[in-house]
Each structure stands twice: as C-alpha cells, then as structure tokens.
Amino acid sequence: MVIEQQITAAIIAGIKELYGADVTPDQIQLQKTKKEFKGHLTLVVFPFLRISKKSPELTAQAIGEYLQKNEPAIAEFNVIKGFLNLTIASAPWIGLLNDINHQADFGITPVTEQSPLVMIEYSSPNTNKPLHLGHVRNNLLGFSLSEIMKANGNHVVKTNIVNDRGIHICKSMLAWQKWGNGVTPEQAGKKGDHLIGDFYVLFSSKLKEETAALEAKGMTKEEAEAASVLMQEAREMLRKWEAGDETVYALWEMMNNWVYAGFDETYQKMGVDFDKIYYESKTYLEGRDTVLDGLEKGIFYRREDGSVWADLTNDGLDEKLLLRADGTSVYMTQDIGTAKLRFDDYPINKMIYVVGNEQNYHFQVLSILLDKLGFEFGKGLTHFSYGMVELPEGKMKSREGTVVDADDLMREMVDTAAETSRELGKAGEMSTEEAENIARIVGMGALKYFILKVDPRKNMTFNPKESIDFNGNTGPFIQYTYARIRSVLRKAEEQGIQLPETLSTDIQLSEKEENLIQNLADFANTVKEAGKDYSPALIANYTYDLVKEYNQFYHDCSILREENEGIKLFRLVLSDNVAKVVKTAMSLLGIEVPERM
C-alpha cells in the first residue's frame, strides 16, 4: 500500500533524526490498528528500544510527535504501551482510492512471457460413479486455486487425471454385463455416469450377498472375499483388459464414453474446466515402463511372487508395491507415468496436486520415488491437502450408494435459491428467463462460497440451508450487496451523474469511509497471501469483511441524497470500486455476481 510505504520512509527519517541511527524498511513493523483502538496503522516500537535507550511509551511518543510534525499524511496519534497508533489524514486515503480507481484489474498481477508455469491437478474422478459432494469440494478448490495463482502472475495449466481403469471400473462393467440387459443411458433416461454408478452399487450389493453366504458356511470375511466368484471374475476382466482383449476393451470404451459425457455436463454446471485431461488408461503404461526401468537399475526389487516393490525404509517409510504379481499396475505406478508425461508436455515450474488429506502418505511416497528415478521435479511436487466434506447426517459411502450426488446437490441449491427469491418477493419484476438465471447464479454462489470460505485444510460439514441465507457470511449476502451497489450506480447514471476519473483530495472523510478505503486497499495483499498459502478461504473471508464494512457505510452515509456534490461523487466512486473488487474477488472463487436481485 502506497500510504504504508510513505509512512515507513518517514519513520526511517525520524529515527535517524531522533537517535542518529539507520534502520531498514524490514525493521519497520506496521500493521492494521486493532478495532478497539483509534487509528489506521500501528507501529511496533520495541525493536527500536536499544537505539532510543528509553521506555516503550517515551520512544513511541517521540516518534509520534516527529511524524505529526513532519509527515502530512499523519493527522494524529496515540500511544498504547509499546504501540504507536497512527491516524491517517483524509487526503492520502482519497489519493489511494484514486489509484485503485485507475486500475481496472486492481490487485491482479499480470501474466508475462517470463511468468512461471504452474500446473494444478484437480478432480481426478473414477469412471465407475458420478461426481459427489467430495468431488465438488475438490473441483471448487482446484478451480479457485488456479484462478488465484493466475492472479498472482503465473501461467496456469488446469489438468485432470481420469481414473478410467482398474478393478473398480471392472466391477461396474461386470455388473452391467451380467444384469444390465444391454441398457443404455438413453433407454434408462439417465446421465451415463449415474447409470454406471448404479451398476457399481449393484456389484457391491451382489458381492455382499455372496460373501455373506460363504461366511454363513464358516469362512472368515477375508476367506469369503478371496473365494468370491464375482471378485475372481472382476480380476479376470482387469487382466484381460490389460492384455488388450478386444471384447473387454470395447465394453470398457463404450461405458467410459457414457461416463465422460456425464462428467462434462456436471463440470459445465459447476463452472469448472481443464486445459488438459490425462487418462490413467494411457499413463499407466508409461508408469509401468518407468518402474521396470527402475527395477533394471536396481532402484526397485522383485519379490518371489513376481511383484515389484520400492524399499523406502531408509527414508523412514515402509515398502511400497508398484506392480502386482500378475503384472497389473497400482495407483502409484499411474501417478509416476502421469508425472513423467506432464513434464514432457510442459515446462512446469511448479506442480500442485489438489487431493484430499487421506492421500498425504501417497504423495510423500510419490515425491521420493520420482526423485529416486532421477526426475528433477520429484522433490518440488506440492500436495494441496484438504479436509473431507460431510453432511450434517455424517459420512458418505460410494459403494453403498449413500453419497450426495453433485448433480442433485446443484439442482437442489438452484431450486432453493429460486424459492427463497420468490418468498422474499425479489423476482416479481423479472422475466422468467432472468429469474431462472439469477436463481442459478445465487444457488451456485451459495454452494461455492460455503465450501470455499472454510480453511481448505480443515474437515467441514456442508449445510445447504445455512449456505443459502441472505444474511451473514454467505455467498447470497455478498451477491446481494453487489447488486445493491449496481442499483445505486444505475440510478446515478439515470440522473445524469458522471463519475470522475480522479477525485479531489479536499474532502473531509468520516472514519467509516477511511476504514472502507483501507479495507479496499487490502485486496492486493490478500490475493498475494491466498496464492502463497494456497487458500481460497482468505479471499472469501476478505470479501465478506469488505461487504460487511460497506453495508455499515451504506447504512450510515447518504449517497444519492447527499447535498455536497464532492462528497456525493466520492461516495459513488467508492461504491463503484467496492463493487469492482467484490466482482474480482468472487471471480477468483469461480462465483458470478448478478447485476440485480
């Protein structure tokens, strides 16, 4: 912030004059004044006590007097122990607002040819079931993180790895083959991913019946699963698929294409996309070849049953399976192959995996294995580990069909937004088409904001009813404030009021107006912090705080009815820039804002 730089320079000059000592900008600790004290910025004076050789209070008093006398930006000051609270004059705040007003993309660092390339992997669905609530959090975090990294001046490649092979896929395939009677998504009247998910649940149900019968005959659970004919058939199908059996491959291709079409529809509704999609069915071969190469070089070893392992005991971990005894691949093999292909395809400076915290160990191992295989990028991988999302009722289980389907959830959110709007009488003057579009924007905004406002590292409970509230820390509350500002600006335009590019600095501002500009200016630092910490929650909660501050200003300060022309124009320009920052901030979360509600 320009004001902070100006005051920092004045403090350095003051310490030189008062105590004959040179200090650097890094030694100046300026922070936002706590709300319970008067002031805008607070200087921590403890680092200067060895220079002043005086008490904290006397040191703060002396620096405060110097600044008030020599720096026009300082209107007044007060001392609380070793803290010097500084109140900034109105003119610098208006100057700061002018700077923000002149920048259409305030807070955003432009991407240049020299910008680093960051690849972000998210979504990573399995093609045996539709996307569910857990995938929603993953996709929203991944997409938002991509936008935030882009806003921090990085080239970003959004990527997805589709887990389209493996025993879980074969379970759905086998169930369709046995009990599907050739049904297609069109015949069933279902999206392809939903239809395949039904067969995955059906397989689990049939397997449970079979193992229960075996256990009733005296087998343990493990023995029953090992003796299961269904599981043997599924494993045989996987073996045939990896051997290139034409019939199995054709079935796999047909069913996967149904799922891909379903996924695409869900992604579109969710408002997320990808620059490059990788498929495990392609990358596992690369991984298998890389593992076999590592075996040849003595990096890995083969056990008597033919399986290939990595011994990581010297790295403080255990031994890790890379190829099964029958030669089939595991997830780790696929991730090795995918990483290799990605770094072949792009000059990646940073690779970020958006994957739940239950996979922390997996990515720790992946980083070590890639490093052992000689890939320079091995140690630089970042696992953006996030917590699980649950409903108030508790955990979800895919194989039991108790998950919250992403499509159903999004539809419910949009329907709830439409119903809430009707109850509040907000849709009366709109066409049906506009009302439906606003319900979509508000419903999806409620869903996205509720999930993204939580620290990604924490587990969370998603409460649909709470998320759609038009009051409190919710998406609709922020969207409604944006629409309110746009309404004020439209009325100003109808009255023939033109907003100036540059405001006069002769106006005397209220404390609320000064605080609002200070909050507005914090956006640039918030974007940087969100990029550094990989945290969309910082953007979400900043936006809520800004909107809350604006609503207090809106309540206390007249805008269009203000008689002083200079103050009226100032408040309109201030409102316009709040709306600008809210729109930018929400776009970093993948959330749209409506022009009216």
3-state DSSP of 483-499: HHHHHHHHHHHHCCCCC
Q: Give the pLDDT of residue 453.
A: 97
Tell me where in the chain the CATH 3.40.50.620 domain(s) lie: 122-390
Residue 378 DSSP label: G
pLDDT band at 97, cuts 50/70/90?
very high
* pLDDT one-digit tens code per residue, 314-335: 999 999 999 999 887 888 999 9
> What phi and psi, each to the nearest 5 degrees, are found at residue 403?
-80, 160
Per-residue pLDDT tens digits for 433-476: 999 999 999 999 999 999 999 999 999 998 888 888 888 999 99
Q: Are 72 and 3 in contact (CB under 8 A)?
A: no
Phi and psi, residue 382, nearest 5°? -115, 125
Give per-residue pLDDT as tens, 345-373.
999 999 999 999 999 999 999 999 999 99
pLDDT on residue 398: 42
Q: Rounded distance, CA 144 to CA 86, Å? A: 36
Q: What is the pLDDT of residue 267?
A: 98
Strand 276-279 and strand 301-302: the pairing is unpaired
Tell me if 20 sits within 8 A of 80, measured CB to CB: no
Fold of 122-390: Rossmann fold (3.40.50)
Residue 485 CA to residue 576 CA, distance in Å, equals 7
User: 91: pLDDT confidence band, cut at 50, 70 and 90?
Assistant: very high
Question: What's the confidence (pLDDT) of residue 401?
Answer: 47
Cβ 521 vs Cβ 1: under 8 Å: yes
Q: Tell me the backbone φ, ψ of residue 345, rounded to 5 degrees.
A: -80, -30
Q: What is the pLDDT of residues 525-547, one digit of tens each?
A: 999 999 999 999 999 999 999 99
CATH 1.10.730.10 maps onto the chain at 406-588
pLDDT digits (tens, 9 = 90+) for 230-241: 999 999 999 899
**Gap between the Cα atoms of 408 and 584, Å rounded:** 29
Residue 585 has pLDDT above 60, yes or no: yes
pLDDT of residue 424: 74
**Would you say how long the chain is, in residues?**
597
Our CA angle for 91, 93, 97, nearest 5°, is: 115
Query: β-pairing, 382-386 with 74-80?
Result: unpaired
Superfamily of domain 2-88, CATH level 4: Arginyl tRNA synthetase N-terminal domain (3.30.1360.70)
Question: Which residue is associated with the tokens 């759905």?
Answer: 172
pLDDT value at 6 more than 80: yes
**Which of 305, 362, 294, 297 lies closest to 328, judged by CA?**
305
Smallest CA-to-CA distance from 299 within 314, 285, 280 is with: 314
Torsion on CA atoms 177, 181, 184, 185, rounded to nearest 10: -100
Query: Contact at 8 Å (CB) between 288 and 337?
Result: yes
Residue 128: which of 195, 200, 22 has the closest Cα? Answer: 200
Distance CA 254, CA 258 (A): 7
**Residue 69 pLDDT greater than 60, yes or no:** yes
CB within 8 Å of 389: residues ≥ 6 apart: 133, 134, 136, 137, 451, 459, 460, 461, 462
Mean pLDDT value of segment 240-246: 92
Supply the mean pLDDT for the chain: 94
Report d(CA 515, CA 87) in Å as an integer: 11
Q: What is the model's pLDDT at position 331?
A: 87
CA dihedral 553, 554, 558, 561 (to 10 degrees): 150
The pLDDT of 35-42, averaged and rounded, is 93
Q: What is the mean pLDDT of residues 499-508?
A: 95
Distance in angstroms (rounded) separating the CA atoms of residues 119 and 275: 10
What pLDDT is recorded for position 242?
A: 84
For residue 210, give the 3-state DSSP assignment: helix
State mean pLDDT over 387-397.
Answer: 69
Question: What is the distance, to the nearest Å, from the Cα of residue 38 to the centroid of all Cα atoms in its chain?
Answer: 35
Per-residue burial over 272-285, b = 16 or more CB atoms within 10 Å of its CB, e = otherwise: bebeeebbbbebbe
Alpha helices by DSSP H, 180-245? 185-188, 192-216, 221-227, 229-242
Position 393 scores a pLDDT of: 67
Neighbouring C-beta atoms of residue 55, cutoff 10 Å: 13
- For 280-302, how does the pLDDT look when each residue is reduced to its tens digit (9 = 90+)? 999 989 999 999 999 999 999 99
The CATH architecture that domain 406-588 belongs to is: Orthogonal Bundle (1.10)
Read off the pLDDT of each residue in 378-405 and give the average, rounded to a whole number: 74
Tell me how far apart the alpha carbons of residues 19 and 156 are, in angstroms, rounded to a whole number. Answer: 49
Instruction: Summarize pLDDT for 186-236 with one digit per residue, the tens.
Output: 999 999 999 999 999 999 999 999 999 999 999 999 999 889 999 999 999
Tokens, residue 58? 């006397």
Would you tell me how many other CB atoms lie within 10 Å of the CB of residue 583?
Answer: 16
**DSSP for 318-347, written as a single string:** -EEEEE-TTS-B-HHHHHHHHHHHHHHHS-
473-477 long-range contacts, CB within 8 A, separation 24+: 473/541, 473/544, 474/446, 474/449, 474/450, 475/442, 475/445, 475/446, 475/447, 475/448, 475/449, 475/450, 475/591, 476/417, 476/420, 476/442, 476/445, 476/446, 477/544, 477/547
According to the model, what pLDDT value does residue 329 have? Answer: 81
pLDDT at 378 (0 to 100): 87
**pLDDT one-digit tens code per residue, 397-441:** 444 445 789 999 999 999 999 988 887 776 667 888 999 999 999
C-alpha torsion 195→201→205→211, nearest 10: 130
Q: Is pLDDT above 60 for 396?
A: no
Q: What is the pLDDT of residue 402?
A: 55
**Contact status, residue 122 vs residue 160, Cβ threshold 8 Å:** yes
Segment 236-248 shows an average pLDDT of: 93
Residue 148 has what pLDDT?
98
Q: What pTM value is reported for the model? A: 0.91
In this model, does residue 394 exceed pLDDT 90? Answer: no
